[in-house]
Amino acid sequence: MKNSKRNIINLVFSSFLVIGYIVCTYFFSNLASQVSGTVGNLIQIAILLVFGLLLFYATRVGEGKQVKRFSLPVLLLLDIPCIYIILAAMISALPLHDQLAPVGGSFPLILILAVTALGYGIPYTFLSGYELKEYDEDDAEESAQESEAEEEKKPIEGGIAEELAEAETEDEKPAEEEPAEESDEE
């Protein structure tokens, strides 16, 4: 219950972060569109790449450890086509340049989506987010050793330990009472 509330709060903050970045992207894209030529296009591409990266991390909410792995399908199906769309928009010798090139400083929608998807896809190719740690035999042994170490630190309750503690308290009490008993006997 506690984790689900925390995940919901994290998602709400992430959504505000994404909305804020969308507003910032709009203003930075308007500023970059005033810069003519390739430099302005590269600035807009960089802004949208950061937006895709932000989307990746904003949607990765969870418990557990970060799982690192390489995903060939994501590379082939997402990253490479996005890179080609970006290159075709920038290089006039590539096919589809006429359909993908920015016109009048504004990016076509497919180019905006491709750059954002590339920003999302690059980290997704190498990280799969957070997953709960699964216990295998090694982890089970480690957790058993940790629990044994914790039990050794705890005081033992019941059995001989309680009898010894009671005996120690009884030994102390008669020592104080012994002079009184001796006087009674005499």
The predicted-structure confidence for 16-72, as pLDDT tens digits, reads as follows 877 888 888 888 878 877 887 778 888 888 888 988 888 887 777 656 666 777 888
Distance of CA 151 to the CA centre of its chain: 32
Q: Which residues pair with 130 in a beta bridge?
A: 66
Q: Which residues pair with 68 in a beta bridge?
A: 127
Whether the CB-CB separation of 118 and 49 falls below 8 Å is answered with yes
Q: Categorize the per-residue pLDDT at 152 as very low, low, confident or very high, splitting at 50, 70 and 90.
A: low
Which two tokens mark 52? 């895709």
- Measured from the Cβ of residue 65, the count of other Cβ atoms closer than 10 Å reads 10
What pTM did the predictor assign? 0.58
Calculate what percentage of the chain has a pLDDT beyond 70. Answer: 65
Residue 6 has pLDDT above 60, yes or no: yes
SS3 107: coil
The reported pLDDT for the residue numbered 10 is 77
Tokens 């807009």 found at:
44
Tell me, what DSSP letter sits at residue 138?
H
Residues 6+ apart with CB under 8 A from 122: 52, 53, 79
SS3 128: strand
Q: Categorize the per-residue pLDDT at 168 as very low, low, confident or very high, splitting at 50, 70 and 90.
A: confident
Q: Categorize the per-residue pLDDT at 84 as very low, low, confident or very high, splitting at 50, 70 and 90.
A: very high
Tokens 């035999």 found at:
137
Strand segments (E) across the chain: 65-68, 127-131
CA separation (Å) from 157 to 134, 167, 169? 33, 15, 16
SS3 186: coil
CA proximity to 55, closest of 113, 131, 6:
113
Indicate the range of 109-118, 141-150, 153-162, 175-184 predicted with least confidence: 175-184
Q: Categorize the per-residue pLDDT at 133 as very low, low, confident or very high, splitting at 50, 70 and 90.
A: low
